[in-house]
Structure 1
């Protein structure tokens, strides 16, 4: 299928690994020129030959710097994928504390990373997106719908990101800008697979093996497919959402059937 993206330009945040790296690769396959942003590059990102901007997106200044660099490199921005997130395993695990034990600085850091980074980058990119009738894809999470377990600050920040997506779609739709969220469930990235990742550390704390803990967690989430998604599967949905269509203000879910409510 030709997604009609050849010749377009894109900015992908969190593009050095995992879902972001898969998005960079797939966009390039579709003929898109890509600027990838992350704190550090990786050998895998360097292999793509995408332009890398080393930046801290937990600050408004970092977001402005990214868009200035990207605009200079690309000439303008057609597609923006706000994917940066999760961060350090310690941050995520700290979020599993109760409301009375989770300090304000944890909430602020999580919102800076997952919500404000998308707000700041989108706001900086909007003049170009409006000019080119562009598209925003915010990478959210089914955690925004599952409040019973996991990191509370992460879940709430992703719920806020979904709301921001709808606001962008509503306020800028008449100017030709579309905005959608893509919400993955468990994905085979470092959070789930790294030997020192979030799931591995939770397994160790409970005296379980990493493999057994992953299986147990999936069973608890009641995944219909019984497996986690790959970064490439999530990337395909993100790139489709970025392609020309009439979908906007929507949340697109790729979770193996964990979310069962209408």
Structure 2
């Protein structure tokens, strides 16, 4: 894992770039829209709710439900028609938990109802739709481009929200599956952001009050990580965790997830058990260090 900072100068590469953003009307999506425009980029926005002012008067927008392939397709078509190209896509739209495996809802006959799939459909299927469309449209761009997905701290840690955590693990899985298939084979990079507690509509106001303002980051902190993943052409296959203005790249480096889990994989191929135990211990130590550095906000919730 590698800690780093993000300066305004590192976002200058957004100038004249065109980004499609889902879930653009609030939270991380709106903060990213504003950050891109601040650095000279252009945005085509989509959401179920309209953009607020002043963005509503100046940013092209199309209402779209990310669970609808047709509506997302219309967004990408409109963005290409508006700007003549697409350089980046931010698969950001998301909702909070919508089901529980412990509560027992029944129908009029007293039969158990299936779990609601709203969160899976928005946070994972919707992201997959955005990514599939983005690859298609970025292939048309002679310079290629990048895709950024909104994952979460719960993409790699324990958060007791069954559908939300499952979907965010799925986003990380999509990142890992596509990383070897895109750059450098195609001029398309893919990355993801993994925010810690962030002041958005997904986090209940009561939770933010309980955590305290000093332990919750603004959406712009996450927007900066989105911006650098778009602007920095060297970044590919990264998962950037953000917490209170600090940024950590989780996938690579000597203590990144892949380096730490390699001995575990080698065990299945005849490696030494002591190497696996050492790697497991180091994973625990790194997560513990991150929890301390983030003013007591643990990325592991049990």
Contact residue 229 and residue 235 of structure 2 kept, 8 A: yes
Residue aligning to 1:195 = none
Residue aligning to 1:252 = 240
Cα–Cα, structure 1 residues 104 and 199, in superposed 2: closer, same or farther, change >3 Å? farther
> Structure 2 matches for 1:94-133, cutoff 5 A?
94-98=98-102, 104-106=114-116, 108-130=117-139, 131=141, 132-133=143-144
1:103 deviates by 5.5
1:146 deviates by 2.8
Residue aligning to 1:10 = 19
SS at match of 1:7: coil
Residue aligning to 1:40 = 49
Q: Does 1:76 align with 2:85?
A: yes
> Structure 2 matches for 1:22-37, cutoff 5 A?
22-37=31-46
1:62 deviates by 1.7
Residue aligning to 1:207 = none
Residue aligning to 1:147 = 158
Cα–Cα, structure 1 residues 159 and 30, in superposed 2: closer, same or farther, change >3 Å? same
Higher helix share: 1
Cα distance in 2, alignment partners of residues 251 and 100 from structure 1: 36
Residue aligning to 2:175 = 165
SS at match of 1:138: strand
Cα–Cα, structure 1 residues 11 and 199, in superposed 2: closer, same or farther, change >3 Å? same
Give the alignment partner of residue 223 of structure 2, picking from 207, 224, 235.
Answer: 235
Residue aligning to 1:214 = 211
Cα–Cα, structure 1 residues 45 and 123, in superposed 2: closer, same or farther, change >3 Å? farther
Deviations 1:11-59 (A, max 9, x none): 0110001110010011011111100110121324635721111111112
Gaps of 5+ in 1: 193-197, 204-209, 219-225
Cα distance in 1, alignment partners of residues 42 and 73 from structure 2: 20
Cα–Cα, structure 1 residues 83 and 135, in superposed 2: closer, same or farther, change >3 Å? same
Contact residue 95 and residue 154 of structure 1 kept, 8 A: no
TM-score (norm 2): 0.69
Cα distance in 2, alignment partners of residues 170 and 156 from structure 1: 23
Residue aligning to 1:177 = 188
Gaps of 5+ in 2: 1-8, 106-111, 245-293
1:176 deviates by 1.3
Contact residue 15 and residue 45 of structure 1 kept, 8 A: no
1:97 deviates by 4.4
Deviations 1:67-120 (A, max 9, x none): 111111121210111110016xxxx2x4354387695452x3212101111111
Aligned-residue CA RMSD (Å): 2.4
Cα–Cα, structure 1 residues 48 and 247, in superposed 2: closer, same or farther, change >3 Å? farther
